[in-house]
Chains A and B, each alone.
Chain A
Amino acid sequence: MPELQPPHLRPRLDAMKSSRPGPTRTADPRPPDHFPARGNYPVYLLFGVCGGFLLLTSLLVLRGVWALVGGEAAWNAFVASLSHPLYIGYHALALLGVVWFSLRFFSIFPKTQPARIGPVKPPPAPVILAILNGGFAVANALLALILWGELL
């Protein structure tokens, strides 16, 4: 079997071992054949990594607020720093990542709702999807227009 990672990072693979040894020796479990690079696994890992874009963007907003607290000079320096080509390239990627992440999350969301929470039933899946995708478009459009200076 090809070496996957250094020993301390190798998968555990003893998840399905019995707590008591059986009567014969068994061969060690193998990880899923297509993990991590084939089938659906790369998309799944990419989804996980795109979560990192959310973390970084929140930290960006935090940086921005600290700059506002610091006064006009600090704010202008912050804005100027975002013009660096690497930053712009990163933000183009981040935008794609966060949008894809959000839309994928919405597509999974309906089936995460139990049939009933107490006496309350969730709305049917198409309604949930309309609310989520519609809300996404409206909320982001609104905020973007405000930040852009077209509103307020």
Chain B
Amino acid sequence: MKALLVRLEPVIWMLFGAGMMVGAFLLPAFILVVGLAGPLGWTGAEALSYQRMHGLATHPVGRLVLLAAIALPLWVGAHQLRHVWIDLGGLKTDGLVGSLLYGTALVGGLLGVVAVSRL
């Protein structure tokens, strides 16, 4: 498994880099509004209503934004957490842990494709 990870590193790194950019440019807004402002009642009821959200999400640009926000930052998390694991002495299980983390990113991205296409 480790050998496979070594061979795939350039791809992983590219996905990680793209995820850093997308994550930085999009995710804070999601957390602020969907995670804080909405639940705390700052946005008003209409903003996060099903009709409005569904309308935004099904717009071609909306689908693209959602797909990017789901599929790419997952690789950042997977990559960073894998390296923290290695830093704390976990190299012996890096093949397994790395595969699990990147596997999560891959599966999450695929689920994102399915979900966005089914909107």
**A interface residues with partner B (beta carbon < 8 Å):** 4-5, 8-12, 36, 45, 47-62, 64-66, 68-69, 71-72, 75-76, 79, 82-83, 87-88, 91-92, 94-95, 98-99, 101-102, 105-106, 132, 135-136, 139-144, 146-149, 152
Contacts and interface: CB of A to CB of B under 8 A. Distances in A.
Contacts of B19: 54
A82 B44 CA distance: 15
Given A57-B30, A83-B39, A136 B23 contact: no
Given A62-B111, A139-B25, 19 more contacts: A9-B89, A51-B76, A54-B73, A55-B74, A55-B81, A57-B23, A58-B27, A58-B77, A62-B70, A62-B112, A65-B115, A69-B118, A69-B119, A82-B34, A88-B39, A91-B35, A102-B20, A139-B29, A144-B33
Contacts of A47: 80
Chain B: number of interface residues, binned into ranges:
35 or more
A79 B25 contact: no
B96 interface: no
B84 to A, nearest CB: 4
B33 to A, nearest CB: 4
29 contacts: A9-B88, A9-B89, A9-B90, A11-B89, A45-B84, A48-B81, A48-B87, A52-B77, A57-B30, A58-B70, A59-B108, A61-B30, A72-B51, A75-B50, A79-B38, A82-B39, A88-B39, A91-B36, A92-B36, A95-B28, A95-B31, A98-B27, A99-B28, A102-B23, A139-B26, A139-B29, A141-B29, A143-B65, A149-B52
B32 A144 contact: yes
A152 B46 CA distance: 12
Secondary structure dominating the interface of B = helix
Contact of B30 (A51, A60, A101): A60
Contacts of A10: 89
- The 10 A-B pairs with the shortest beta carbon distances in the complex, nearest first, are A55-B77, A51-B80, A149-B47, A91-B35, A102-B24, A143-B29, A147-B33, A48-B84, A139-B25, A144-B29
A47 B20 CA distance: 12
Contacts of B32: 95, 140, 144
A55 B31 CA distance: 12
